[in-house]
Chains A and B, each alone.
Chain A
Amino acid sequence: GIQVEQSPPDLILQEGANSTLRCNFSDSVNNLQWFHQNPWGQLINLFYIPSGTKQNGRLSATTVATERYSLLYISSSQTTDSGVYFCAVAYNTNAGKSTFGDGTTLTVKP
């Protein structure tokens, strides 16, 4: 099956800093999603982005499908951005059979 690697595994930032999280995957995909798991455990869908670039406020994501990676950018980080960020990918199957990476744990300090 598809392998998903996320980096870095842990990231500590000062409030206001910018960051880039990376997701590498081992095969072609037609579904790629980024999720944020907040400190209370809730999983929020940030982006559905199998290719191209999307932006939502301070967050943006870019997927280069031909090179098998996706990047999540967080600008002007806030303490509420803390949590774990997961990348999930799927190919030719339903969205729920996505393979999840192990996540990047982000801590934003005030």
Chain B
Amino acid sequence: NAGVTQTPKFRVLKTGQSMTLLCAQDMNHEYMYWYRQDPGMGLRLIHYSVGEGTTAKGEVPDGYNVSRLKKQNFLLGLESAAPSQTSVYFCASSYKTVNEKLFFGSGTQLSVL
């Protein structure tokens, strides 16, 4: 039981390049989330999904797209990376209801030059 797994762990992009971050969970969770964490701050929600085939915007969705084609996977895409997207990205998952714990992946450090 690996929990929540993110790939890659580190990535450096040039401005304008695209990339996809992959999140996989093996806990059969319905809900999955992508967050970003900037220095000295808490986590901010980018996009989330309440089930296979669904996605919704979070607090800071601009410049990102997501897809949830399979229940266990949640992909975060950057179509044209900008230096403002330099951050640490975390994926998380939880069961269906509001009264559930969040489980996080180990994060992806992304630098956009």
Q: Which residues of A contact B (CB under 8 A)?
A: 4, 30-31, 33, 35, 41-45, 48, 50, 86, 88, 90-98, 100-103
Contact = CB atoms under 8 A, between A and B. Distances in A.
B42 A96 contact: no
Interface residue tally on B, bucketed by range: 20 to 34
A33 B107 CA distance: 19
A101 B42 contact: yes
Interface of B: 31-33, 40-45, 48, 50, 58, 88, 90, 92-94, 96-104, 106-107, 109
B24 to A, nearest CB: 16
A72 B33 CA distance: 25
Contact of A92 (B33, B41, B45, B98): B98
B102 A98 contact: yes
B42 A95 contact: no
A86 B42 contact: yes
